[in-house]
């Protein structure tokens, strides 16, 4: 069977010839491009799919939102060395954030967030009240033609409004203090954000994608049950239903600790929980995933932490871990072996290739 046939079989609840192996190589490819090891257009080219095929890895499109975001209130962006600044002017004051690029990690992180306290909520509502979205399907259509039998076409919805604030625009500390200081105004702001995000989510559901992910970046030690039930679950439940109505497959990105939220996440109606990180890096052994995510038909996707593709983990431990994963995943067609969450910049090509070889040896269903 091809990688595409294998993963589609699992998504239908059928048993393929072996456990599917699908990896998110986007971050690793970004680093290779930055170092000059791959051409600038590598990730958008047919060669990117050939690279997956050569490495024996199934492909699923990562990081693509099939819509354009237009800030009706205006937006000013500028760079100062490695720092990317942004200002959003509103009648209620100007919001500003700053993200700094780190060459060593080939990534950027926030050093100043848009949302700093409850004083920023009126301005933030103004931004989202004047935000609009337009379909942008060209890249997804080109990618669909490239993928062939190597995988599936997956695009992103927006995060839930709460996770947008936690992961990108405020951070958990500012969000927690703001929600406590001004609960009604905080809830009103999330409602305004949701009205905007619902429009973008509809565009995404109507896109050429056959699978659609809510890229939450959930971790149980950051977002506990109370916040999840109040602010995250309703959005996921609604859009899981809409994705299913469209005949497509719903995903959620849960790439942190699992114990506190996995049972709740599994109950939302989402079909696939992706980027799951097991012990010893995460907090739940892979053998305990199914008991926590007990809803029939749910697919659990992940297993190999990013660090296991690097020299920081020895060969023997790498081999042991992948084989132990397959001992569980080969018991039932409800798993997809994947990266938790991405192969990092110092990933070893031999390790990525070796996973496919181990699947060939030990990934047969029992």
Residue 233 structure tokens = 């679950």
Residues 279-298 as b/e (b if ≥16 CB within 10 A, e otherwise) read eeebbbebebbbebbeeeeb
**Backbone dihedral region of 141: left (phi > 0), alpha (psi from -120 to 50 degrees) or beta?**
alpha
> How does DSSP assign 24-60, residue by residue?
--HHHHHHHHHTTSS-TTGGGSHHHHHHHHHHT-BEE
Cβ distance 11 to 249 under 8 Å?
yes
Tell me the C-alpha distance between 81 and 163, whole Å. 29
> Which letter does DSSP use for residue 294 in this model?
-
* Peptide bond before residue 272 is cis, with ω within 30 degrees of 0: no
Domains and CATH numbers, the chain: 3-69+117-362 (3.20.20.210)
Alpha helix segments (H runs only) across the chain: 3-11, 26-34, 46-55, 121-129, 138-147, 161-164, 171-181, 183-205, 225-227, 233-245, 262-266, 289-292, 315-329, 349-362
Distance of CA 361 to the CA centre of its chain: 29
pLDDT at 62: 84
Q: What sign for the dihedral angle of Cα 66, 71, 72, 75? A: negative
Whole-model pTM? 0.97
pLDDT at 351: 98
Altogether, the residues listed in the chain come to a count of 366
Tell me the C-alpha distance between 361 and 339, whole Å. 19
**Which has the closest alpha carbon to 277: 244, 300, 294?**
300
Tell me the C-alpha distance between 244 and 324, whole Å. 33
Residue 12's contacts (CB-CB under 8 Å, 6 or more residues apart) are none
Tell me the C-alpha distance between 189 and 72, whole Å. 17
pLDDT at 73: 77
pLDDT at 300: 98
- Segment-wise mean pLDDT, segments of 10 residues, the chain, 366 residues: 98 97 98 97 97 98 94 93 98 98 96 98 98 97 96 98 98 98 98 98 98 97 97 98 98 97 98 98 98 96 98 98 98 97 97 98 96
């Amino acid at each position: 069977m091809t990688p595409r046939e294998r993963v589609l079989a699992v998504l239908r609840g059928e048993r393929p010839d072996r456990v599917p192996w699908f990896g998110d190589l986007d971050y690793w490819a970004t680093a290779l491009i930055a170092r000059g090891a791959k051409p600038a257009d590598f990730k958008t080219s047919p060669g990117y799919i050939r690279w997956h095929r050569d490495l024996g890895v199934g492909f699923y499109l990562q990081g693509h939102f099939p819509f354009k975001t237009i800030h009706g209130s205006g937006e000013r962006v500028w760079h100062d060395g490695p720092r990317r600044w942004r200002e959003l002017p509103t009648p209620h004051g100007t919001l500003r954030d700053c993200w700094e690029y780190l060459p060593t990690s080939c990534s950027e992180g926030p050093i100043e967030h848009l949302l700093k306290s409850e004083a920023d909520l009126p301005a933030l509502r103004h931004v989202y009240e004047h935000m609009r979205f337009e379909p942008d399907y060209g890249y997804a259509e080109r990618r669909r033609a490239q993928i062939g039998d190597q995988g599936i076409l997956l695009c992103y919805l927006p995060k839930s409004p709460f996770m947008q604030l936690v992961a990108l625009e405020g951070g958990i500390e500012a969000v927690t203090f703001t929600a406590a200081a001004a609960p009604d105004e905080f809830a009103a702001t999330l409602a305004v954000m949701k009205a905007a995000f619902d429009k973008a989510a509809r565009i995404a559901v109507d896109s050429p994608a056959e699978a659609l992910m809510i890229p939450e970046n959930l971790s149980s030690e950051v977002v506990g049950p109370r916040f999840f039930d109040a602010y995250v679950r309703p959005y996921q439940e609604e859009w899981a239903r809409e994705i299913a109505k469209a005949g497509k497959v719903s995903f959620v990105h849960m790439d942190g600790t699992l114990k506190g939220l996995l049972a709740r996440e599994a109950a939302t109606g989402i079909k696939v929980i992706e980027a799951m990180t097991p012990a010893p890096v995460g907090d739940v052994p892979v053998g305990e995933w199914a008991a926590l995510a007990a809803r029939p038909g749910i697919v659990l996707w992940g297993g190999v932490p990013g660090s296991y593709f690097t020299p920081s983990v020895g060969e023997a431990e790498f081999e042991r871990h992948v084989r132990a994963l397959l001992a569980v995943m080969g018991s039932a067609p409800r798993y997809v072996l994947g990266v938790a969450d991405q192969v990092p910049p110092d990933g070893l090509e031999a390790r990525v290739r070796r996973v496919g070889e181990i699947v060939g040896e030990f990934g047969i269903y029992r």
